[in-house]
Structure 1
Amino acid sequence: MASDRLEDVQHPQADSREGTMKALQDRDDSSTCSANGSVRTVSTATYEREEQEAEEIFRQRIEKLCRVLWPPKSIKDRLVNSEVANHLRANMFFGSLVPVPQTPLIERLRDGDLNHITSITLPSSYGHGDRKLILRVPRWDQKRLDRNVAILNYVRWKTSIPVPTIAATDFSCDNVLQKPYVLQHRIPGKDLNTVWDDLSHLQRCTVAGELGRVIRTLLLLEHPTTGIIEAAPRSKGGVDCFSIVPYELDLGEGEEEPKAETYISLTAFRPVESTLDSFRSQFGRWRTLALKRSCGEIDNEIQLWDCMLRAVLEMEGLGLFRPNLNCLCHVDLHSGNIMVETQSDMSIRLTAILDWDEAIFAPKFVNCKPPAWLWDDDYEDLLDEDDLDPWPYELDGANALPSSREKQELKRIFEENAGPEYPHLAYDEHSRLCRGLFRIAKDGLNDNANWKAAERILSEWEILRHSLTSEF
């Protein structure tokens, strides 16, 4: 899954066009066509200069945005930042007499797949309590940005899970950045992946308990239907400021799904959508789209959707979808998205859970992918014998007995805090397979990994189904 890391990184990272720059560095120059059709040679240095110029323009816009949002309060600071002062500083006689205004410290951080990330530290003259901020500017889908804010607000309103707080937003391009943006207060501490190796066993036990409580909280945050949280149009605040919409299909350019999405308030009465209903709905949407693409021909993709639907119908017939309930699922709760602050050699505090961009309401088993990295250092790096990536296919073995007493204790503490329904939803073979099927139902068969995962899951389900039915 994609992840935007918002921790306090000390050094700016490479710009977002690393791939392009690498390709350029592999050769001395490249040829492009000019406006009149002639070929001109563009050197690597030219591209680097253009990137630097674009970066400088964006940095100046960020400085201006900070002045707009937090204008200087004192008379002295307002005078120093005035246009008159700028003219005087440009004068050879008065320039040395006029103080230079304080400017924000702006550092480009490593970009996530979905957003450009910039660190901003405001100077004291800006009169702002929390001076450390993170600027997120979306790469593509502008709608995703307001959805992300809605999810953060919903989690903060409904739970005590620590999440980033919002300093300012603008979902339009009508601002000094000329782009939609979200400004968040920077989270104290570091991501868990960075500090894990240096933590004591007691500190790791604390993290295991905290993470278990996060999972339990999300399991209790139930909803009758599946979908994505968004800000409701024309909301008046409170609970009605959130809506839930169906999952989006990854459509090709120019494609449209026949069924239109509708906004439905989270408080509106909805008939309960069972796990089978969720699968049937998503498989049906993808199958309809595939049938449209194939001009009515039953091709391999449609046959695969039919096989997956038959598998979940068999699971329902065996009574495996219990409980038939949905909850809020983070779906990307790895150590890089957990922020912690070390308080002493013996204590640690969880300061935030990051990257709620892909959070959804889904069947409860989706929320229960075991965090095996807590008790098995090698589990997350494993590939199966066919070199199949564990996403969306999920490797088995997460419930294996850890290799040491300390790791066994971490697993026990996590499970105790995750609640009594967690082990069944996490470790049962059908739950593991259903998590993979649900990811495919949500994301489609648009890449080779999902095709392989679907075929592998169906093959394993046949074996499991045979073992379950032979018991009767």
Structure 2
Amino acid sequence: MSEGESEGNSAFSESDTSSLYSESSTIVYEHESFETFRHKAHDLFTILFPNEESIAVYRMAGGSFHRIVGATVTSDVAVTQREVILRIPRFLYLRLADEVAVLNYLTDHTTIPVPHVLCFDLSSENQIGSPYILQSHVPGKRLHSIYPTLPFEKKKAVIREVAQLLKQFNDITFSTIGMLVAGNPECTEVKIDQAWDYAEDIFPREDDPRPPAQSNSTRSFLEERWSFHLEEEERCGPSSRSEISYITAFRKLTEGLQLPNIDTPARIVLFHTDFAPRNIFVDEETGDITGVLDWDRAESAVVEAAWTMPAWLWDKDSTGSDLLSWVDPDEIPDDPTAQKLRTFFIQEIGNLIPSYVEVIRENKILHEILLFARLGLRSQPMIERASKFLKDKIPDFEQLQLVEL
């Protein structure tokens, strides 16, 4: 079950104690079981909603990075009822302030449907002993859970909505390339810092914050990132000397690309780095998108990195599980219905962003290089991915590794 989906009865009830033990929290993450944690959550809700008559706390399925608790808040006086969501980071290194700031920015400056932040606490000095975000409940269902069974015309409605969203992402532009982070303690503004790196999960920067983003061209961004990753090797200690040879190889590969001059500004747009069906809520009846979740890794990115083909709209794998892979815009699926859906998306996005498909088609190698530059090489899956990529693109890559070693 995906993050944010309810598990069963929403009432605060003792009727089914077996459902109170969340495997993801108590076993995988060694967190307190919901059976006891719900009482702490109820105490917090009572303080946050002191004038309400009834507060029913219920468990929701969490994700890899957050525990999710829901509550139905009822006012007998005003005869109203509303659903709210408590979002609790599983790990201390997660930058809750950045997510709050991005959600506030999108709420204030765009019409992109996102959860509204009702309040937040960045400290652990509260009833649940953890930082949290309290946000509005997003109506509808997760797209991946219903899309495969939607009628053809409803799928077209969803595709039209996705294209409109991508147009909104494209219309939000920035002057530098990097990661959207909190710009002030109140989290009412955003600023751009250098992109997040896997190393920061293992070796968090406490008194040494990420340097501010300075690049406004693709060439300068790549050089900024390669230099940053080399500095990270020094700061954290290299997990493998071969990583340095990878960066050398990426620099060599970049030199062969026909990129604009370093002084030529790129088009830099809003990039939701996990724009997948699991993070999209839709109205099952209309196909309207009611919410887009998980903005904690949002970036300002060049279009060659941000623009991708959402093949999960026509592919048999509707989960969009592998968002890191470049998708060939000219690849035609075997299924006739999938072919029609793909064609419809290309028509819709072409009307809104005429250059969208062409930019993707012409920048496969650059898209891949930008991926490694953005995310770094500190995880084993990324190192293995980089190794395969470089061996395919640089015939003497293995010899280059030996020289570096």
TM-score tier, shorter chain, comes to 0.7 to 0.9
Map 1:140-155; keep pairs closer than 5 Å.
Answer: 140-141=91-92, 144-155=95-106
Distance 1:187 1:140 in 2: 24
Q: State the match for 1:312 in structure 2.
A: 254
Contact 1:8 1:188 (8 Å CA) reproduced: no
Alignment-derived partner of residue 288 in structure 1: 231
Amino acid at match of 1:416: Q
Contact 1:5 1:354 in 2 (8 A): no
SS at match of 2:258: helix
- Of residues 32, 45, 48 in structure 2, which corresponds to 1:66? 45
- CA shift in 2, pair 1:219/1:231, >3 Å: same
Change (3 A) 1:228 1:4: farther
Q: 1:10 aligns with which of 8, 17, 20?
A: 8
Match of 1:420 among 325, 333, 354: 354
Structure 1 residues 351 and 379, CA gap change in structure 2 (3 angstroms)? closer
Of the structure 1 ranges 148-157 and 433-442, higher mean CA displacement relative to structure 2 is found in 433-442
Q: RMSD of aligned C-alpha atoms?
A: 3.6
Rate the CA distance shift 1:5–1:433 in 2: closer, same or farther, 3 A. Answer: farther
Answer whether contact 1:115 1:137 (CA < 8 A) is retained: yes
The Cα shift of 1:183 comes to 1.2
For residues 133 and 255 of structure 1, what CA distance do their matches in structure 2 show?
A: 31
Quick check: which has more Rg, 1 or 2? Answer: 1
CA spacing shift, 1:329–1:293, aligned 2, 3 Å: closer
Alignment partners' CA distance in 1, 2:176 and 2:387 = 27
Shift in Å, 1:178: 2.2
User: Which of these residues, 359, 362, 365, is aligned with residue 433 of structure 1?
Assistant: 365
Quote the offset at 1:128 in angstroms. Answer: 8.5
Partner letter of residue 341 of structure 2? L
Residues 19 and 436 (structure 1 numbering): CA distance in 2 closer, same or farther, change over 3 Å? farther
* Equivalent residue letter for 1:134: I
1:261 aligns to 2:210 (yes or no): yes
Do the aligned partners of residues 199 and 229 (structure 1) sit closer, same or farther apart at CA in structure 2, a change above 3 Å counting?
same
Contact 1:4 1:113 in 2 (8 A): no
Q: CA deviation at 1:316?
A: 3.4
In the alignment, does 2:294 pair up with 1:355?
yes
Deviations 1:210-248 (A, max 9, x none): 1011112212212121122222226796xxx22221123
User: How far apart in 2 are the matches of 1:229 and 1:20?
Assistant: 30
- Whole-angstrom distance in 1 between the partners of 2:191 and 2:292: 22
User: How far 1:360 sits from its partner (Å)?
Assistant: 0.8
Per-residue CA deviations over 1:352-407 (Å, capped at 9, x if unaligned) read: 111112111111122222111212214878xxxxxxx9564x26545312334432
* Aligned residues of 1:212 and 1:415 also touching (Cα < 8 A): no
Q: 1:341 Cα deviation (Å)? A: 1.0
Q: Which residue of 2 aligns with 1:55?
A: 34
The residue type equivalent to 1:275 in the other structure is: T
1:329 matches 2:329 = no
Secondary structure of 1:315's partner? Answer: coil
Question: Out of 244, 269, 277, which is 2:220 matched to?
Answer: 277
Measured in 1, the distance between the counterparts of 2:210 and 2:223 equals 17
What letter matches 1:360 in structure 2? E
Task: Give me the whole-angstrom Cα distance separating, in 2, the residues matched to 1:62 and 1:236.
Answer: 23
Measured after TM superposition, the shift of residue 18 of structure 1 is: 5.7
**Judging changes above 3 Å, is the alpha-carbon distance between structure 1 residues 188 and 378 closer, same or farther for their aligned structure 2 residues?**
closer
d(CA) in 2 for partners of 1:162 and 1:132? 17
1:159 is displaced (CA, Å) by: 2.1
SS at match of 2:67: strand
Find the residue that maps to 2:24 and give its secondary structure. coil
Q: Alpha carbons of 1:433 and 1:107: their partners in 2 closer, same or farther (altered >3 Å)?
A: farther
Q: Give me the whole-angstrom Cα distance separating, in 2, the residues matched to 1:360 and 1:140.
A: 21
Distance 1:126 1:179 in 2: 32
State the number of aligned residues: 381
Local SS of the residue matching 1:176: coil
Partner of 1:107: 58
Contact kept in structure 2, 1:6 and 1:354, CA below 8 Å? no
Query: CA separation in 2, counterparts of 1:362 and 1:189?
Result: 29
Structure 1 residues 158-188: Cα deviation after superposition (integer angstroms, max 9, x where no partner): 3221111122212222222222111111111
SS in 2 for 1:118: strand
- Displacement, 1:436? 2.8
3-state SS of 1:150 partner:
helix
Letter in 2 for 1:408: Q
Look up the equivalent residue of 2:97 and give its one-letter code.
D
Query: Alpha-carbon deviation of 1:19?
Result: 4.5
Q: How many angstroms apart in 2 are the aligned matches of 1:336 and 1:220?
A: 24
SS in 1 for 2:354: coil
Identical residues among aligned pairs (%) = 23
Q: 1:275 deviation in Å?
A: 0.7
- Do the aligned residues in 2 keep the contact of 1:15 with 1:110 (CA within 8 Å)? no
Deviation readout 1:268-327 (Å, 9 max, x if unpaired): xx7x611111111111111233256669xx9422111011011122113599x9982221
Q: Is residue 248 from structure 1 mapped to residue 256 from structure 2 by the alignment?
A: no
CA distance in 2, matches of 1:416, 1:322: 30
2:281 maps to what in 1? 339
Contact preservation (8 Å) 1:190, 1:341: yes
1:190, CA displacement in angstroms? Answer: 0.5
Contact 1:116 1:137 in 2 (8 A): yes
8 Å Cα contact 2:72/2:81 also seen in 1: no
Structure 2 distance, partners of 1:341, 1:136, is 22
Question: Does the 8 Å CA contact 1:192/1:339 hold for their aligned counterparts?
Answer: yes
Q: Is the 8 A contact 2:280 2:291 kept in 1?
A: yes
Contact 2:106/2:112 (<8 A) preserved: yes
Taking structure 1 as the reference length, the TM-score comes to 0.71
Q: Is the 8 A contact 2:104 2:187 kept in 1?
A: no
Which has the higher mean CA deviation after the structures are superposed, 367-376 or 207-216? 367-376
